[in-house]
Structure 1
Amino acid sequence: MDDQMIIISSILKEWEGIQPSIEKSFRERNQIEAKKLMDKGIQLFIEFLMVANNQPYSDQFSIPYQKLEWKPVNLEERLKFIMSRPNLHHSYRQLSELVTEQKKQLAKKNIQRKTSRP
């Protein structure tokens, strides 16, 4: 397993660790906790996105959407919605879908990379 996949595996493991807590926070209508966990989830997704696209990650700069080859459909609009309303359950559902779609993009990338090798 290369370094990129080790980092991605770690990110996804952390996401899977907080996902039940996010669901519980929304179910219990604990908006303070939900927002805190959503902020962490958003950060994890962006890190996953950047690493999967071989882009440097820093939470101090904007996302170069046009430079990302492997990304979910309508990423920019969806992520802006999530980031502007992290305390909504719908934002959590969207974030969860983005993570799932990015996993699929990564799988496609890995298949394409393997089949293009001589």
Structure 2
Amino acid sequence: MTEYELHQAYRHPLFYDEKDQTVVRQSAFEPSFIEDMIARAEEETPWDDIEKLIPVIIGEWKRLADVMRPLFEDRPKETHDLMVKGLSLFLTLLFWTNEKYVNVYDWESELDHLEVKIVNPKERIQFVLKRPAVYFSFIQLDEMMTEMHKMAAKKVAMKKKSR
């Protein structure tokens, strides 16, 4: 198993503790931002294959969402870790669509430099970050994923058209 250094860009208390120094890939997109960490370490640019990665990220989100929906009815605390993973998927899609590595540590200032983003991204992302295990955060994240999916697909289509 390969260990990857926990770069400053991934250091946010919702995703990693201060004491975490390295991470090991457990599965696809697990732990948070692992695909981005691997790409950064190997100097790869995953956004070059964004057309193939969009369905993978969206598929993973849909799988998570299907697990979470019933949990919100009687066990909302069990959704926390799933929502954190969902938010990491959203941020990965957001940054990769903009051809950048994820930077959750300084995400707010990074947003100002992103060309492709959802409407009111700061407010909406902050809302989910502050209350990840709340049903309204789930609804918000689901809407954000839908919007970002459309925008990413549009960018891919525009890129193809310009070739």
CA contact (8 A) 2:58 2:149 kept: no
Identify the residue that residue 143 of structure 2 maps to in structure 1: 97
- The aligned runs of 1:34-113 (5 Å cut-off) are 34-57=79-102, 61-63=105-107, 64-113=110-159
Letter in 1 for 2:147: E
Shift of 1:11: 1.5
Gaps of 5+ in 2: 1-47
Where 1:86 maps in the other structure, the secondary structure is coil
Structure 1 vs Structure 2 CA RMSD: 1.6
1:27-72, Cα deviation, whole Å (9 max, x unpaired): 22x122111111111111111111111111255x322101211111
Shift of 1:93: 0.4
Which TM-score applies when normalising by structure 1?
0.86
CA contact (8 A) 2:54 2:149 kept: no
Separation in 1, partners of 2:137, 2:77 = 15
Identify the residue that residue 8 of structure 1 maps to in structure 2: 54
Separation in 2, partners of 1:108, 1:101 = 11
Where 1:94 maps in the other structure, the secondary structure is helix
Shift of 1:107: 2.3
Shift of 1:111: 2.7
* Aligned with 2:78 (options 33, 52, 67): 33
Which TM-score applies when normalising by structure 2?
0.64
Aligned residue pairs: how many? 114
Identity %: 34
